[in-house]
DNA sequence: TCGTCACCGAACGGAATTCGATCATCAGGT
DNA sequence: ACCTGATGATCGAATTCCGTTCGGTGACGA
């Protein structure tokens, strides 16, 4: 009945949304350019105003090609958020696993810092908020993106820092991410570079929340 | 330079989204029924699937009338969230001002409890999350809904509980609301009645956050 | 050179939005 | 009281915009 997962699921994300898997080289490039285009537009005008025509234009392709790969407009956004998440897992998690992290708190802080960086520089990242905003009528049991990231973090925290990987830890990490996410969204809502007051507070809050639950590992030394 | 406000602004909210202000009695009634219709539909199917035709039908009017008052479909949603906020201020704030609240913490907790109740029973409330979700490209200086509610809370906290109404307090209350909001949204995402694990955690987090900043007033007695 | 992969863009359908015609209310003049 | 012009309010067919489909054409690999 345990709902947390243990590691590799973080990298195996929603590519199932595609209608056709690209086979030839040019088509994988096309797919990439479609997602890049969507990311760029979404950063500029927000996901609600993103039209399929805009994606096609900016990617230098036609509307039909968009629909060769994606079942509908929303699927593009889901794929984009999936790609961001995969990148986050592929690049961020190893950085967090670095032996430099003396304890779980440092690992978490590294993850959050990395996350803020993604808000700043990863196209489409801030506009989608990991895509959870799109899950307007989610079915119970659906995995949220934050849930998947949380699972990856949990696996690092348990395998390298001695925390027990159970539902409670998964829940708390998920909550911490949710908290951070909301403040970061606010931080970047008006300020393209992130209002420092809110980005700082996001890190402080998440930190405080987890320390409240698990104690401060630095002072246990 | 102070950005907090001191009370009455909480009731003067975004009616500026209207194309035409209603003048005669029948038109104010019409406007109300349009918003009621939107709220009912939005609760059922989510704001993305809400069509202008549905609003008109359910309100017993025509599409053209919708557009007499609102510049576009999204504006209806903004107005709806504005009305929810106004109600929250009009009904919730007095409840919070009750002399029963021994200290600021109890006032805040009452506010949050009231908020959870609104998620449960106020039509359209949970679907819109105070409408901030829709603010995809807000202009700098725009007031967020949470910001306005925070201002109202700040005025209660300062006038009745001795906290100094300054930018810092406004900021912290806003952050607390944002934190609560994100967890409540999550709590109600799958469960129409609110997943207790997340609603509880929302209150705990907001409480812990403010106590961390201002101390526990109960233990000062 | 055949079969499949990719791509295109006109055409279709539904939803958003416009706009001029029509009805209702109100003020004030007789 | 009644008329009357002005303005408020409503309507809904027409238009425009956008998501999505589909049949046709070009490109790649065996």
* C-alpha span between B2 and A144 (Å, rounded): 39
Candidates A171, A178, A215; CA nearest to B197 is A171
- Which chain B residue's Cα is nearest to A186? B178
Candidates B104, B219, B109, B92; CA nearest to B160 is B104
Question: Residue A85, Cβ neighbours under 10 Å: how many?
Answer: 25
Yes or no, beta carbons of B175 and A201 under 8 Å apart: yes
Phi then psi for residue A18, to 5 deg, are -75, 145
Q: Give the relative orientation of helices A196-214 and A104-121 as an angle to the nearest 10 degrees.
A: 160
pLDDT reported for residue B2: 42
Strand C contacted by A20 CB (< 7 A): yes
Q: Is residue B82 predicted with pLDDT exceeding 50?
A: yes
Yes or no, beta carbons of B179 and A181 under 8 Å apart: no
Q: Is residue B6 predicted with pLDDT exceeding 70?
A: no
Strand C contacted by B114 CB (< 7 A): no
- What's the CATH number where B195 sits? 1.10.357.10
* C-alpha span between B26 and B164 (Å, rounded): 45
Which helix (DSSP H) or strand (DSSP E) does residue B31 occupy?
helix B25-45
CA atoms within 13 A on the CB side of A137: 9
Over residues B42-51, mean pLDDT: 88
pLDDT per position as a tens digit, B83-92: 988 888 888 8
Yes or no, beta carbons of A181 and B182 under 8 Å apart: yes
Alpha helix (H) residue ranges in chain A: 25-45, 52-59, 63-69, 73-87, 93-97, 104-121, 125-128, 145-161, 167-190, 196-214
pLDDT per position as a tens digit, B135-188: 555 666 667 778 888 999 999 999 999 999 999 999 999 999 999 999 998 898
B142 in a structural domain:
yes
- Per the CB < 8 A criterion, the answer to whether A55 and A36 are in contact is no
* C-alpha span between B206 and B104 (Å, rounded): 13
Domain that holds residue B53: 8-220
* C-alpha span between A29 and A38 (Å, rounded): 14
Q: Give chain D positions with protein CB within 7 A.
A: 8-14, 18-23, 27-29
Domain count, chain A: 1
A171 in a structural domain:
yes
Residue reference for tokens 């307090």:
B169
pLDDT reported for residue A202: 97
A58 in a structural domain:
yes
Distance from CA of B188 to the nearest CA of A (A): 11
Strand C contacted by A61 CB (< 7 A): yes
pLDDT reported for residue A46: 84
**Paired tokens of A171:** 């829940």
Per-residue pLDDT tens digits of chain A, which is 221 residues long: 344 333 333 333 444 689 999 999 999 999 999 999 999 999 988 888 899 999 999 999 999 999 999 999 989 998 998 898 888 888 888 989 999 999 999 999 999 999 999 999 999 988 877 555 555 455 555 667 778 889 999 999 999 999 999 999 999 999 999 999 999 988 988 888 999 999 999 999 999 999 999 999 987 65
B1 in a structural domain:
no
A41 in a structural domain:
yes
* C-alpha span between A76 and A123 (Å, rounded): 14
**Alpha carbon of B61 to those of A16, A156, B73: distances in Å?**
43, 57, 15
B165 in a structural domain:
yes
Strand D contacted by B216 CB (< 7 A): no
Which helix (DSSP H) or strand (DSSP E) does residue B154 occupy?
helix B145-161
Strand C contacted by A63 CB (< 7 A): yes
Over residues B24-53, mean pLDDT: 94
**Paired tokens of B115:** 């908020």
Yes or no, beta carbons of B178 and A175 under 8 Å apart: no
B67 in a structural domain:
yes
- Which chain B residue's Cα is nearest to A128? B136
- Provide the b/e sequence for B33-60 (b: ≥16 CB within 10 Å): bbbbbbbebbbeeebeebebebbbebbe
pLDDT reported for residue B145: 78
* C-alpha span between B43 and B54 (Å, rounded): 13
**Paired tokens of A190:** 């008006």
Chain A positions with Cβ closer than 8 Å to B? 45-49, 127, 133, 135-140, 142, 171, 175, 178-179, 181-183, 186, 189-191, 197-198, 201, 205, 208-209, 212
* C-alpha span between A124 and A207 (Å, rounded): 26
pLDDT reported for residue B15: 44
pLDDT reported for residue B146: 82
A2 in a structural domain:
no
- Per the CB < 8 A criterion, the answer to whether B21 and B70 are in contact is no
pLDDT reported for residue B65: 98
pLDDT reported for residue B3: 41
* C-alpha span between A156 and A107 (Å, rounded): 8
> Which one of A45, A144, A183, A186 would you mutate to disrupt binding with B, by most B Cβ within 10 Å of its Cβ?
A186
Residue count of chain A = 221
Smallest Cβ distance to B179: which of A47, A139, A179?
A179
């Amino acid at each position: 009945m345990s709902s947390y997962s243990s590691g590799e699921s973080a990298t195996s994300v929603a590519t199932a949304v595609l209608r056709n898997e690209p086979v030839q080289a040019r088509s994988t490039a096309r797919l990439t350019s479609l997602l890049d285009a969507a990311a760029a537009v979404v950063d500029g005008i927000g996901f609600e105003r993103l039209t399929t025509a805009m994606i096609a234009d900016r990617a230098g392709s036609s509307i039909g090609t968009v629909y060769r790969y994606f079942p509908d407009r929303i699927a593009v956004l889901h794929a984009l958020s999936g790609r961001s998440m995969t990148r986050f897992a592929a690049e961020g998690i190893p950085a967090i696993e670095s032996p430099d992290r003396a304890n779980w708190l440092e690992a978490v802080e590294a993850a959050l810092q990395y996350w803020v960086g993604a808000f700043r520089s990863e196209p489409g990242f801030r506009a989608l908020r990991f895509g959870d905003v799109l899950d307007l009528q989610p079915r119970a049991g659906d995995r949220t993106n934050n849930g998947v990231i949380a699972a990856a973090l949990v696996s690092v925290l348990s395998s390298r820092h001695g925390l027990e990987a159970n539902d409670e830890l998964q829940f708390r990490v998920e909550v911490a991410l949710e908290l951070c996410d909301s403040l970061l969204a606010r931080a970047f809502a008006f300020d393209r570079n992130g209002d420092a007051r809110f980005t700082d507070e996001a890190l402080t809050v998440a930190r405080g929340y987890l320390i409240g639950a698990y104690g401060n590992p630095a002072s246990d030394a």
